[in-house]
Amino acid sequence: MSTDSLNILNFKDPKIKTLHITWFAFFLTFVVWFSHAPLMVFIKEAFDLTTPQVKALLILNVALTIPARIVIGIMVDKFGPRIIYSGLLVISSFICVGFAMADSYEQLALFRFLLGFVGAGFVIGIRMVGEWFPAKNVGIAEGIYGGWGNFGSAAGAMTLPTLALMFGGDDGWRYALGLTGVIAGIYGLFFYSAARNTPKGSTYFKPNKAGGLEVTSRGDFYFYLLMNIPMYIALAVLAWKLSPAGVSLLTTQTMYIMWIALVALFIFQTNAIYKVNKEHLAKGVPDLEKYKFKQVAILDIAYFVTFGSELAVVSMLPLYFLDTFEGLSAVQAGLLASGFAFMNLVARPTGGWFSDKFGRRKSLMILIGGLAIGYSILGNIDSTWWIPAAVIATMCCSFFVQAGEGAVFAIVPLVKRRMTGQIAGMAGAYGNVGAVTYLTVLSFVDYSTFFYVIAASAAIIFFFCWFIEEPKGHMAEVMPDGSVHLIDVE
Contact of 413 with 420, CB cutoff 8 Å: yes
pLDDT of residue 474: 59
pLDDT of residue 169: 75
Bridge partners of residue 155, in order along the sequence:
none
**Of the candidates 121, 128, 147, 135, the residue with the CA atom closest to the CA atom of residue 19:** 128
pLDDT of residue 480: 57
pLDDT of residue 55: 83
Contact of 368 with 458, CB cutoff 8 Å: yes
| Cβ neighbours for 407, distance < 8 A, ≥ 6 positions apart | 139, 302, 351, 352, 354, 355, 360, 363, 364, 367
pLDDT of residue 34: 86
Half-sphere exposure of 231 (CA within 13 A, CB side): 25
pLDDT of residue 252: 94
Q: How many CB atoms lie within 10 A of CB 88?
A: 27
- Give the span between the Cα atoms of 410 and 126, in whole angstroms: 9
| Cβ neighbours for 381, distance < 8 A, ≥ 6 positions apart | 324, 390, 393
> What pTM value is reported for the model?
0.90
What's the one-letter identity of residue 38?
A: P
Q: How many CB atoms lie within 10 A of CB 94?
A: 14
SS3 of 177-228: HHHHHHHHHHHHHHHHHHCCCCCCCCCCCCCCCCCCCCCCCHHHHHHHHHHH
Q: What does the radius of gyration of the chain's CA atoms come to, in whole angstroms? A: 22
With vertex at residue 108, the alpha carbon angle to CA 104 and CA 112, rounded to the nearest 5 degrees, is: 170
Task: Going from the first residue of the chain to its last (490 residues), give the mean pLDDT of each consecutive group of 10, the final group possibly shorter.
Answer: 61 90 96 87 89 85 90 93 97 96 92 92 94 89 92 84 86 93 97 94 82 90 96 94 86 95 95 91 82 94 95 84 82 77 87 92 95 95 90 93 94 88 94 92 90 97 92 62 58
Taking the domains of the chain in order of start, what are their residue ranges? 14-195+204-488
Class assignment of domain 14-195+204-488? mainly alpha
Q: How many CB atoms lie within 10 A of CB 198?
A: 16
With vertex at residue 365, the alpha carbon angle to CA 360 and CA 370, rounded to the nearest 5 degrees, is: 130
